[in-house]
Amino acid sequence: MKIGIVGLGLIGGSLGLDLGMQGYEIWGVSRRESTCQAAMSQAVVTHASTDLASLAAVDLVFVCTPISAIVPTVAQLAQRLKPTAIITDVGSVKGAVVAAATALWPNFVGGHPMSGKAEAGLQAATRQLFHQRPYVLTPLAQTPSTAIDEVTRLIEQLGSQLYVTDPDSHDRAVALISHLPVMLGASLLQVCTTSDQRSLAQQLASSGFRDTSRVGGGNPELGTLMAEYNRPALLAALAQFQHQLAQLTQTIEHEDWSGLQAYLTAANQDRPAFVDGR
């Protein structure tokens, strides 16, 4: 089986490394020639080009470009792939992608691996990035089951945990657990870096602050595209968070220490089940 990967960055490069290990021929396409050369020299792909026409003979393509380029890439692939080829994507937002991509290529299966890193680009690509991590597929009613089965088979070979849902549910869920935390992490960093206590706070910051702020310091292009393409769900999540903050502020203003302890006890008890209880 020949696999194409468009966009040889963190996610595309990591897919190339793991799928190459499974013995597949990997045909990579990226925007810059220098990235194609680096992907070849790091054995991320077996063939590399800046031209989508190089994918004419592949059986399945992962589109791993920034979110804004996914649907335009599918439109270009539709002119170049063989009719039986399957296209899947890895974009962090599905509502803005899946219906439009399916209209261009019926053999399209929306996907989203729930694993990443703060760093971007091919140099950040790593083996086993998807191992034991959730990988969501968001097929539509009309998505051919043969295409879903083929993508599922590859996801299982990556060692990922498969979840299947619809694009809208996916977008509302990731707004809560991925896109909202990016905005909260970034605003926490702003509070600290603009404070007159910045210097001492920085010296005292330890593992707790490192954990809490980590996702706020990630790829700014990705964070902006998450907000742009998942705007309603992110705004709803931000509104819920503001409501929680307002309640907490009131509790502290009123010196309601037993109320605060009950709130923090609920968080203490809920976290293990929420984080580890899949």
Q: Return the structure tokens found at 226.
A: 């998450």
| Radius of gyration for the alpha carbons in the chain, expressed in angstroms and rounded | 21
Which of 4, 16, 17, 35 is the binder for ligand NAP (CB under 6 A)?
A: 35
Which of 1, 21, 32, 261 is the binder for ligand NAP (CB under 6 A)?
A: 32
Tell me the closest approach of the beta carbon of residue 140 to ligand NAP, in angstroms. 19
> Residue 227, exposed/middle/buried by CB under 10 A (0-12, 13-18, 19+)?
middle
Q: Can residue 6 be called a binding residue for ligand NAP (CB under 6 A)?
A: yes
Tell me the closest approach of the beta carbon of residue 175 to ligand NAP, in angstroms. 13
Q: Can residue 121 be called a binding residue for ligand NAP (CB under 6 A)?
A: yes
How far apart CA 272 and CA 274 sit, in angstroms, is 6
221: region left, alpha or beta (phi > 0 left; psi from -120 to 50 alpha):
alpha
What is the SS3 assignment for 18?
helix
Q: Can residue 120 be called a binding residue for ligand NAP (CB under 6 A)?
A: yes
How far apart CA 166 and CA 170 sit, in angstroms, is 6
Q: Compute CA distances 171 → 90, 211, 269, whole Å.
A: 13, 24, 27
Longest dimension (CA), the chain: 68
DSSP state letter for 1: -
DSSP state letter for 28: E
65/143 with CB nearer ligand NAP: 65
Smallest CA-to-CA distance from 229 within 148, 188, 184, 174 is with: 174
Which of 20, 91, 139, 223 is the binder for ligand NAP (CB under 6 A)?
A: 91
Span interacting with ligand NAP, options 1-9, 19-27, 184-192, 236-244, rule CB under 6 A: 1-9
Q: Can residue 10 be called a binding residue for ligand NAP (CB under 6 A)?
A: yes
Q: Can residue 7 be called a binding residue for ligand NAP (CB under 6 A)?
A: yes
- Look-up of token digits 């190089």: 54
Tell me the closest approach of the beta carbon of residue 191 to ligand NAP, in angstroms. 24
> What mask, x for binding ligand NAP by CB under 6 A, covers residues 241 to 270?
------------------------------
Identity at 127, one-letter amino acid code: R
73/152 with CB nearer ligand NAP: 73
Q: Can residue 113 be called a binding residue for ligand NAP (CB under 6 A)?
A: yes
Size, binding site for ligand NAP by CB under 6 A:
28
Smallest CA-to-CA distance from 113 within 61, 156, 52, 148 is with: 156
* DSSP-assigned beta bridge partners for residue 112: 136
Span interacting with ligand NAP, options 5-13, 17-25, 140-148, 189-197, rule CB under 6 A: 5-13
Q: Can residue 88 be called a binding residue for ligand NAP (CB under 6 A)?
A: no
Span interacting with ligand NAP, options 54-62, 112-120, 230-238, 255-263, rule CB under 6 A: 112-120
Residues binding ligand NAP (CB under 6 A): 6-12, 29-32, 35, 64-67, 69, 73, 90-92, 112-113, 116, 120-121, 219, 222
